[in-house]
Amino acid sequence: MSPVQASSWLERFARELGTEVPSEEEQKALLSLASVAAHASERLAAPLSCWLAARAGRSPEEALELARRLAVTAGPDAG
C-alpha cells in the first residue's frame, strides 16, 4: 500500500479532529519549529514541541520564535 500524500492526510485528520488544516504559513512555521527542536535536542522533541505549542494555544510563529531563542541560549546540559 502506497503512502497517502501529506495534504490528503492532513485534510482527513483535521476533519476528524473537527478543525482546519494549518495554512501554508503555519505549516512552514511548524516544520521550522520541528527542525529547531530536533537540532537543539533529541529528535523526539520535534513533534512534542509542536504538540506543546498547540496545547498552550501558541501560534506556530510564536512557538518558532520561542524555540529559536531557547536553541540559542540553551546549552546541551540545560534543563
pLDDT digits (tens, 9 = 90+) for 6-33: 999 999 999 999 999 999 999 999 999 9
Q: Residue 33: CA atoms inside 13 Å, Cβ hemisphere, count?
A: 24
Q: What is this structure's pTM?
A: 0.83
Distance CA 79, CA 66 (A): 15
Q: Mean pLDDT, to the nearest integer, of 20-49?
A: 96
pLDDT of residue 79: 46
What residue segments make up the domains of the chain, in order of their start? Answer: 23-79
Q: Mean pLDDT, to the nearest integer, of 41-68?
A: 96
What residues contact 10, with CB distance under 8 A and at least 6 apart?
Answer: 21, 22
Q: Grade residue 39 by pLDDT with cuts at 50, 70 and 90.
A: very high
Q: Indicate whether 61 pLDDT > 90.
A: yes
Distance CA 24, CA 73 (A): 29
Query: What rounded mean pLDDT belongs to the chain?
Result: 92
